[in-house]
Chains A and B, each alone.
Chain A
Amino acid sequence: MIALARYLPLLAASLRRKRLRTFFTVASILVAFLLFGLAESMRFALQSGVEVAGADRLMTMHKVSFTQLLPASYESRIKSIDGVVAVTPQTWFGGWFQDERNQIPTFPSKPEAYLRIYPEIRLPEDQKQAWIADRAGILIGRSIADLFGWKVGDTVPLRSAIWPREDGSETWDVTVRAIFDLPNGGDTRQIVMHQDYFDEGKQYTKGLIGWYVIKVADVDRAQAIGRQIDAMFANSPAETKTSSERAMAQSFMNQIGNIGAILSAIVAAVFFTMLLVTGNTMAQSVRERTNEIGVLKTLGFSNPGVLGMVLGESVLVTVIGGMTGMLLALWIGVQFEPVLKQYLPGFRVPPSAFVEATLYMVALGLVAGAAPAWQAMRLRIVEALRRD
């Protein structure tokens, strides 16, 4: 480490030799790691919902697809199963406010059951009671309140393109009765409305709901209860598929499309290109310095020392470019947070991505510099000095 610090000015000076070439190489690496940082931010945002999903919660949906509805009558039958603590129906409301781009995840649910199922939700007791008491009342997450400036008592026209009201209107007038926080982290960009209010008000598919969320008493029995639920509705017109909330969240993400995998594939392709670009730069750089390498060896720089210097130079290039790219990705996450939080809450470079990126930078530098470094190490002094 001390030796490396001592050679650092020498390595830095080597990078200044062909400034334009170094700039383009560093810029290419910067772009690659910027892409990586943004891809990791996206993955982090998509995964955050999956990671906060509880293991003691089950989700029962239609066996064919989550877009198919289930009878509301299943609720009481599920509730009767031993080990089930609470059940609430939920439906994808597809809500938006003022502008269709202002999409808000909104779920009609049974308030009391909902709060039992999600004990991590924190809201003042008076607000809780007010929400439970008001059929047209909604519970909103802190992000929504901050985003639209909504306060308790505000009546807001929530619109849904999926669920028109009986009179044909798209607008559902609801009143903010409670605002919740998630002190242990999680997405508060959510609205919960009364299932009864929703079911009575909607134009069609009355008595049908989207899926059930179930809280079980014993996590170890969750799988068995899930099987029991599915067996209960087997051979019925609406067969069910029950899995843990976490598995469901993951499968929901997978249905959107494995964006993370697609991004990873793109980033891998970019990294591979970067490997070739950096490798070529280093090879060219070493070729141009054959005589100098001969001089360094003449002065007493050992073969492993020369190997280390070329590798160090290569790693320096990838670390400078890579770190700048990652910091830029971090900056973009912070700058665009107000815009992105509506669509991708939690979009930011996670700390683990910095660790991963640093490993990639070092690995990229070492692999790209390996061949030229080996060549420099093997160079015979007398031959190197002869080439000018």
Chain B
Amino acid sequence: MSAQPAPVDGRPAIVRIRDLVKEYRRGAEVVRVLDGLSLDIAQGDFVALMGPSGSGKSTLLNLIGGLDRPTSGSLEVEGLRIDQLTEGSLTRWRADHVGFIFQMYNLLPVLTAERNVELPLLLTNLDREQRQRRVDAALKLVGLEHRAKHRPRELSGGQEQRVGIARAIVTDPTLLLCDEPTGDLDRKSGDEVLTLLEALNDEYGKTIIMVTHDPHAAERAHRVIHLDKGLLSEDRR
């Protein structure tokens, strides 16, 4: 735990990163992907993280989401030093606070849309009826209540991604982390997904951090952060 995070643009910082270093070992070679990075992200912000391949943007997203651990530096989310959490605590924290949206949707092919959305709720104490109500609400929010009983292979790419979004928001997390959410979609479906993300940000106050290669997608964000060879630069709207 640490003190109350400092505000960003008058809003409290939900993510606070200081001197973050991430190194990978590739055989005998040590590759430093993030080199002393510091960054604050405000609560309710919609941030696009851009950069060339290998710039470390997905690594940064994984670290913020608690999927990986930094080599050094501090990483605070909602005032909690997640880099200091034990494996079990980090897992529980992730389930409670973070929703993930993947480029390839990563739905379980053997489950229907509604059972895919229900997955994170299996870790809660909600009973079957409560879980179903939440699932129905999430699917309705993404406009796919009529496709609840369909399996992923029966859905279009855009619909699969919307199911992925429903799964990410079903536990009502504060932070949504999106890794190239439109990277595998056509322009129309991509726009629908981005509109949905905007709505989640504007209407439901979700903080969104989105890794993208696509400048068109980045335009929807309030803030665009460029990451290249460990250096950060920023466009603010």
On whether the two chains bind one another, the answer is yes
Residues of A within 8 A of B88 (CB): 302
Cβ-based interface call for A301 (8 A)? yes
Chain A proximity mask over B117-147: 1 for CB below 8 Å, otherwise 0: 0011011000000000000000000000000
Query: B119 contacts A299, CB within 8 Å?
Result: yes
Of the candidates A13, A297, A381, A382, which one forms a contact with B110 in the assembled complex, judged by CB atoms under 8 Å apart?
A: A13
Residues in A with CB closer than 8 Å to B104 are: 388
Say yes or no for B94: interface residue by CB 8 A criterion.
yes
Q: Is B202 an interface residue (CB 8 A)?
A: no
**What's the least CB distance linking A281 to chain B, in Å?**
16
Interface pair B108/A299, CB less than 8 Å apart: no
Task: Determine the residue in chain B with the shortest Cβ distance to A301.
Answer: B123
With contacts A13-B108, A14-B110, A388-B104 taken as known, whether A299 is within 8 angstroms of B120 at the C-beta atoms is yes
Q: A171 on the interface (CB 8 Å rule)?
A: no
Check: B115 CB closer than 8 A to any chain A CB.
yes
Question: In this assembly, does A296 line the interface, its C-beta being within 8 Å of a C-beta of chain B?
Answer: yes
What is the distance, in angstroms, from A374's C-beta to the closest C-beta of chain B?
16
Does B80 have its Cβ within 8 Å of any Cβ on chain A?
Answer: no
B68 touches A10 (CB 8 A): no
Residue B6 lies at the interface, judged by CB distance under 8 Å to chain A: no
Interface of A is mostly: helix
Contacts of A77 in B (CB 8 A): none
Query: Would you call A291 an interface residue if the criterion is a C-beta within 8 Å of the partner chain's C-beta atoms?
Result: yes
Chain A CB within 8 A of B8 CB: no
List of A residues within 8 angstroms of B108 by Cβ: 13, 292, 295
Chain B nearest Cβ from A249, distance in angstroms: 55
Residue of B nearest to A384 (CB): B67
By a CB distance below 8 angstroms, the chain B residues around A385 are: 67, 102, 106
Chain B residues near A380 (CB-CB < 8 A): 68
Q: Which residues of A are found within 8 Å of B94, using beta-carbon distances?
A: 298-300
Is B87 part of the contact surface with A, judged by Cβ < 8 Å? Answer: yes
Q: How far is the CA of A123 from the CA of B182 in the complex (A)?
A: 88
A101 at the interface (CB under 8 A from B): no
Q: Does A96 contact B (CB under 8 A)?
A: no
Measured in the bound complex, the distance between the Cα atoms of B106 and A292 in whole Å is: 7
Closest to A18 in B: B110
Contacts of B46 in A (CB 8 A): none
> Is B153 located at the chain interface by the 8 A CB criterion?
no
In angstroms, Cα B92 to Cα A297, docked, is 10
CB pair A10 B111 closer than 8 Å: yes
Assess the A300–B111 pair: CB atoms within 8 A.
no
- In the bound complex, residues from chain B placing their C-beta under 8 Å from that of A303 are 87, 91
Chain A's closest residue to B179 (CB) is A385
Given the contacts A9-B115, A303-B87, A295 and B95 also touching, CB distance less than 8 Å = no
CB contact list, A346-388 vs B, under 8 A: 380-382, 385, 388
**A382 and B62 contacting across the interface, CB-CB below 8 Å:** yes
Measured between beta carbons, the chain A residues less than 8 angstroms from B123 are 299-301, 305
Write the nearest CB–CB distance from A94 to chain B, whole angstroms.
Answer: 62
Q: Which residues of A contact B (CB under 8 A)?
A: 6-7, 9-10, 13-14, 16-17, 291-292, 295-303, 305, 380-382, 385, 388
Assuming A292-B106, A300-B96, what are 6 further A-B pairs, CB within 8 angstroms?
A13-B111, A17-B110, A298-B65, A298-B100, A381-B68, A382-B67
Which 9 A-B pairs give the minimum distances between C-beta atoms? A300-B95, A13-B110, A295-B106, A381-B67, A299-B120, A302-B91, A382-B68, A300-B123, A17-B110
Can you report 20 A-B residue pairs in the complex whose CB atoms are below 8 A from each other? Answer: A7-B122, A9-B115, A13-B110, A13-B111, A16-B110, A291-B106, A295-B102, A295-B106, A299-B95, A299-B100, A299-B120, A299-B123, A299-B167, A300-B92, A300-B94, A300-B96, A300-B120, A302-B91, A381-B62, A385-B106
